[in-house]
Structure 1
Amino acid sequence: MRAQVIVVIRFSYVADAGFKISAQGLGAIRGTLYDPDRLARRFQLFEALTLPSLLAQTDDDFTLAVLIGDDFPSDARARLSRLVAPLRDARLIALPPHNNYKSTKLAMDACLNPDATHVISVRLDDDDALGRDCIAAQKHVAPQVAALGPANSPAVICFNNGLFLELSDQGNRLFGVIEKLPLGIGMGMIAPVGARPTIFSTDHRRVHTRWNCYTEALTPRFIRTVHRDNDSDALVSGEKPKYSDHDLDRILATHFPFTRAELLALKP
């Protein structure tokens, strides 16, 4: 088995469905996603959280596919290209509007290595962060979980332990969560090359109803941001461990390339 990890980030991609405002049409979606103030906030979080977490991976042998619209503003596209350049294998994939499954599948197909036998497709939003060993954990765990099921059957690996970072004009708040439902940040699916299913084939909260799913709840492996631009409701589905400031400092130092002071200082 030669598994290629492909992390897919939809950076303000104009999909033709899936947003709260989708019923208003592509013009409304494009106007919202490409609003200069909103784009500036997305770049702030991408540069402060998402990108550093990718650069800090203990295993840097992965492909990053950044999905953007084919009409993404040219200055923003140039900025994004410069930002991801330090990664070992990062590509901008510009596509016209499709649904999220089709667009992400096309993006992954465009990045496929010719010698790969399997793909581990991984979800990540442009405003969230991965723990340092998330890629390494996917590579270690995914083949073992896949081997437990029928031959060539997809399997899903997700991480339910992490931190929520709420950004607010009244002051940011950082707290721990252990979700009871599968969480999309860093979630991956291992499947043979050419298989139809990917990690974007269904809602991330329901993957365990369609495929074998391994949930790792002991190691903090994500930071999710909660802010004004969230399109989905950022609700905790499980427990909130009562971490002290010392506990949070220890978790961050062990698993993430950030300090608590840096996260609490981010602008909402």
Structure 2
Amino acid sequence: MADPTVQFLGITRWSYPGTPDGYRKSSEDLDVLRAKLYAPERMEHRLFLLEHLVLPCLREQTDPTFKHLFVMGDQLPAPWRSRLEKLLGTVPQASAVFAPEGQNMREMFMELIPEHQEKRHDILAQYRIDDDDAVAVDFIEESRRIFSNLHPFYETEGIAGLDYTRGFIMETSPEGVEFRPVSARHWAPGLVVFQANKEAQSLFEFPHLRIWHSMPTLTFRETPMYIRGAHHDNDSHLDSFARRTKTFRFNPRNKRRFLQRRFAFDSREMQNIWLENYEKFAGDGAAGLRTGT
């Protein structure tokens, strides 16, 4: 029997104004949420992260056979929308999806994912990164390789998860950009879910911290595979995850070169751009960032 074929489908929710249950910190009023997400300083910050963190790693994937959806609201204002579309145009695998705003996140992706499945494949592999995350340049290639060994394990239930536990937290502050090694189980940017294509559900049907309730999972800890952002307008509270995380020994001869090789960005250039623009990114909160209040 021929080896099963696998489609890789990535998802990024890019400042999409959905129902309040889609965000940890949000207003029940859609107009208030929309104003917060589309605030000029926030848009500038998210476009900075998109250009210098998210897209470089996707553009340089060693296995280019994947599709990555960027899901935005259909009322994203024109100045940001045009800049976003121009940036996404630099990555052939990136697809812009402008969805009607105010939808329930789970329900929206239940309808959206089937529209982008390629029926000719046997298996659908889904992963997700937030708009302040990155994955290693061999994320697709390694996941495909590991699945070739994981396949008998997957066949028992027709579903399986791959959990990359090592990565970095990228912390930005008025002092600059720091990368802290972290080991954590079931963090969203380190997960891949493999399902039989005909029965595949949306990845958002499986809350990432409880994914082991729904499927067998394989933990892979050998190589750092993701970066997760920590900054002034995070939706998730990374500090609250401290009890679930550990660090690992990371002492390369040249940290900048390592990050360039693994994630395809120049950390020095990123720091310079951040320091030059953080007041624009932080807006009224810039003074608080300086004083720590």
Residues 1:2 and 2:5 are matched in the alignment:
yes
Q: Partners of 2:145 and 2:249 in 1: how far apart?
A: 30
TM norm structure 1 = 0.90
Q: Which runs of 5+ in 1 are unaligned?
A: none
Match of 1:257 among 242, 245, 264: 264
Which has the higher mean CA deviation after the structures are superposed, 82-91 or 35-44? 82-91
Equivalent runs, 1:19-168 vs 2, <5 Å: 19-96=23-100, 97-151=102-156, 153-168=158-173
The one-letter code sitting in structure 2 at the alignment partner of 1:108 is: I
Shift of 1:48: 0.5
Residue deviations 1:34-89 (CA, integer Å, cap 9, x gap): 11211111000010000001001101110111111122223322222221223233
Q: d(CA) in 1 for partners of 2:188 and 2:92?
A: 23
Q: After TM superposition, give the deviation of residue 184 of structure 1 in Å.
A: 0.8
User: 144-153 or 74-83: which moved more?
Assistant: 144-153
Unaligned runs of 5+ residues in structure 2 are 279-293
TM-score (norm 2): 0.83
Return 143-152 or 118-127, whichever deviates more: 143-152
CA distance 1:31–1:142, shift in 2 (3 Å) = farther
Shift of 1:194: 3.6
1:11 counterpart residue number = 14
State the identity %: 25
In the other structure, the counterpart of 2:245 is: 238
Q: Is the 8 A contact 2:160 2:193 kept in 1?
A: yes
1:115 shift after superposition = 1.5
Moved more, 68-77 or 162-171: 68-77
RMSD, matched Cα: 2.1
Aligned to 2:173, the other structure's residue is in SS state coil
CA distance in 1, matches of 2:121, 2:95: 18
Partner of 1:258, secondary structure, is coil
Structure 1 range deviating more: 105-114 or 156-165: 105-114
Name the structure 2 match of 1:223.
227
Output the amino acid matched with 2:266.
Answer: T
Deviations 1:109-165 (A, max 9, x none): 222223222211111111111101001122222354343144552111121111111
Structure 2 Cα separation of the partners of residues 110 and 101 of structure 1: 15
The answer to whether the 8 A contact 1:142-1:155 is kept is no
**For residues 198 and 32 of structure 1, what CA distance do their matches in structure 2 show?**
27
Greater Rg over alpha carbons, structure = 2
Aligned residues of 2:167 and 2:225 also touching (Cα < 8 A): yes
Q: Which has the higher helix share?
A: 2
Give, in angstroms, the shift of residue 247 of structure 1: 5.8
* Residue 212 (structure 1) aligned to one of 212, 216, 220: 216
Provide the C-alpha distance between the structure 2 equivalents of 1:259 and 1:90, rounded to a whole number of angstroms.
21
